[in-house]
Structure formats: C-alpha cells, structure tokens
Structure 1
Amino acid sequence: MPSHQPPLTLALASNPSFDRPAEEQEVEAGTILIPLSLTITNTSPTSIPYTLLTWSSPFDPLVFRLGLLSLAVVDTATSTETETPIPINRIMLRRRTPPDADAYAVIEPGQSVTRSVVCKLEAPGVEVDGEEVQGKRGERG
C-alpha cells in the first residue's frame, strides 16, 4: 500500500527580530532562548486547501519540548563537519479534545503560513505554565 505524503514543505530560519511575549521576558539565569521562524508551504497542484492540526506539528509551540524538532551545533572548523545534538528537555503531554479552532492552520495551495517559535535551552527540570512537571523514567530490563 503506498504511503501518502502531504504536499507540504517546511522551512526553518533564525528570527532575531522576534519579540518575546511578556511571559517569556523574565527568564531564569542559564536559560537560552533561540527564536526561530517556521514556514509551511502547500505545494499541492490541486485547488484543495490543506488543514493542519498544529498539535504535534512544527507549528506546535512545544515543538522542541515534544522532541519533534531538534537542534545541533555544526563544527565546520575541521575538514569533516561534525554535528553535536543540543540536549533539550523533553516532555510528553495529553491534551483535551476536541481542539479549539485556533489549533488549526489552513494552508491554501501555493500559499505559505509562517509562525514564530522559541526554542528554550534550560537547566534540567521542566516547567509548563509555571508548574514543574515530574517525569517518569521507564525501566529497561
């Protein structure tokens, strides 16, 4: 059975002019904010728009914490480029359904939708909405 790939392309760019929301302006020492701009383009040759649930997609505000996107440092000083993944605290969450209307993005054919996201690199311990979330570690055996 052939797999169906959505007619979408994703572009990621740094966004140095991004204005942080007020709730992100007070950042604890040791936290680094990396503002990024994500653009998704509908490349479908048809006239049908693509509706995307932003949850667990590149447009999810928690895209890095959910482990959907990752960052790496690329060392170009040597003849062989090496990538070192940047550790990002990851979480797993459950959301109430059905989603609100603002959890969807409609992308018309040939059109692009851009959203700004911030990758937060922080010390261990994850806070969501001001409350620390305790994670469970699975036992391997």
Structure 2
Amino acid sequence: MISIKNKGFTLIETLISLAILGIIIVSFISLFTNSNLIISYSGKKVNAISEGKSILDEIHSKATKSDKEAINIIAEEVLNKKYSSNYEIFNEDKDLYIYKNKRIHLTISEEEILIKPISKKYTTVKMKVIVFYNNGEKKIELFTYIPNKEN
C-alpha cells in the first residue's frame, strides 16, 4: 500500500496568498503617499508662517515712530529688500485676500483699541500680512499691533 502525503501548497493557495499580500502592500503604499503629501503641505505652511512672522518682526523692530506713514515707509524698505517686486501694500482690506501673482500682501491701518478694565482707548497701528503659498492656492494671515508711544 502506497501512502501519499501532500506537504506542499497547491497553486490556488499560493495565488490567493499572493493576492492578499498584494492588497496589503497597496494599502501601505497609499498610506505612505498620503503621509508624504501631508508632510509636504505642512512644511510649506510652516515656511509661510515663518516668513510672515519674520516680516512683521522686522518692521516692528525698525518702527521708531508709531504712525502709519512712517511704518509704511519702513515696510516698503523691508519688503523691497527681501522680495523686490513680489509684494503689494494695500491701503484697505478690500483686495487684500485676492491673489494677484504677488506672494506677500500687507496692509497698515490705524485702529482704536478699548481696554475694558480701565475703560481707556488707545490708538494703535495694525499691520496685517498675507503670505500666499502653493502657487497662490493657499494663504496664511498674521497681524500685529504697534502701540503709539504717546499712550
């Protein structure tokens, strides 16, 4: 009597296990691809935030007078030095958020701020910068206040 013991895999078993393994590998590849896209997007956003903060900090540090015209001149110098013609300074917020092939949009305005505990109004200069990134598809907005020295 001859006994045959099958100790190997059949062709169907091998093909099914390869198909399952292929599905698992494809899902991991798509996970890594999405992760890389998110990391790239986050990096661009962090760079834009850093750039906007740098602009505001430099203008703020050079501002000796707290009036709109003096800060406008300083802003023009800072932006011209760093970005030559890739910026635009606006007088009002009307077109500030519309991408016009300029990476940096800046507006400078005077604003009154009421401090409630002491019920006193202070006049400040508000600087708002918009940094466009990802070919103008995305943007970040940062702003700061410069108090008048007289207050």
Q: Classify the TM-score, shorter chain.
A: under 0.3
TM-score (norm 1): 0.24
**Structure with bigger gyration radius:** 2
Which structure features the higher share of strand residues?
1
TM-score (norm 2): 0.23
